[in-house]
């Protein structure tokens, strides 16, 4: 029986597509059963639909309270029998109730070497701009467990790349993306193996 994943997205969905393909070619012993977005009309949802994967938009502004928002999120996850939640460019904080219910079963990929350059506001080009401004000699990507603080949970996998002379945020981002595509499927597999053994 394959494990069932949900991927949460907010943007282009390149990591989402990498995960879908990794499931299809058995790098990851799982299936992406549901893609959740915090906003409609994004490319990531189109990518999911291209693979005939169920999608849902769950936005905090559509609910009267945090509790109703969290409940809707949890009901979706239960409906699709989700075992592991993977955040892939998801820019919203996962509701506390979801984090508590899925403790140890929510992971995220971050485009820097945590604990450096993480936290609220550190996403996309901002991360790479900050790394370059700080004069860092290396950057990379980190897969970590999600807790109730941004980019804070225990690290699962991390891989580095050198910051090169003349790097721009765009050139550095390109290399970091390649690392993300490499380590996120590996980390998902590791977490699923750990969950299967507990």
Ramachandran quadrant class, 145 (left: phi over 0; alpha: psi -120 to 50; beta: rest): beta
Class at the top of the CATH hierarchy for domain 3-196? alpha beta
Instruction: Catalogue the active-site residues.
Output: 110
Global pTM reads 0.95
How many CB atoms sit inside 10 A of residue 59's CB? Answer: 13
Nearest Cα neighbor of 143 from 195, 182, 197, 94 is 182
> CB-side exposure of 131: number of CA atoms within 13 Å?
34
Q: What tens digit of pLDDT does each residue of 98-140 get?
A: 999 999 999 999 999 999 999 888 888 999 999 999 999 999 9
Domain boundaries, the chain: 3-196
Tell me if 151 sits within 8 A of 176, measured CB to CB.
no
């Amino acid at each position: 029986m394959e494990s069932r994943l949900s991927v949460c997205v907010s943007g282009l969905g390149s990591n989402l597509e990498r995960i879908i393909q990794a499931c299809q070619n058995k790098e990851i012993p799982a299936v992406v059963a549901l893609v959740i977005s915090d906003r409609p009309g994004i490319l990531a949802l189109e990518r999911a639909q291209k693979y005939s994967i169920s999608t849902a938009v769950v936005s905090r502004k559509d609910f009267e309270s945090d509790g109703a928002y969290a409940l809707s999120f949890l009901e979706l996850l239960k409906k699709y029998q989700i075992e592991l939640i993977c955040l892939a460019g998801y820019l919203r904080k996962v509701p506390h109730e979801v984090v508590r219910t899925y403790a140890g079963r929510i992971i995220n990929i971050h485009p820097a070497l945590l604990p450096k350059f993480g936290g609220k506001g550190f996403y996309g080009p901002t991360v790479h701009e900050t790394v370059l401004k700080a004069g860092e000699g290396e950057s990379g990507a980190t897969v970590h467990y999600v807790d109730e603080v941004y980019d804070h949970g225990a690290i699962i996998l991390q891989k580095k790349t050198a910051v090169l002379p003349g790097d721009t945020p765009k050139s550095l981002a390109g290399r970091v993306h390649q690392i993300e595509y490499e380590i996120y499927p590996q980390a998902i597999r590791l977490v699923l193996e750990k969950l299967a053994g507990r």
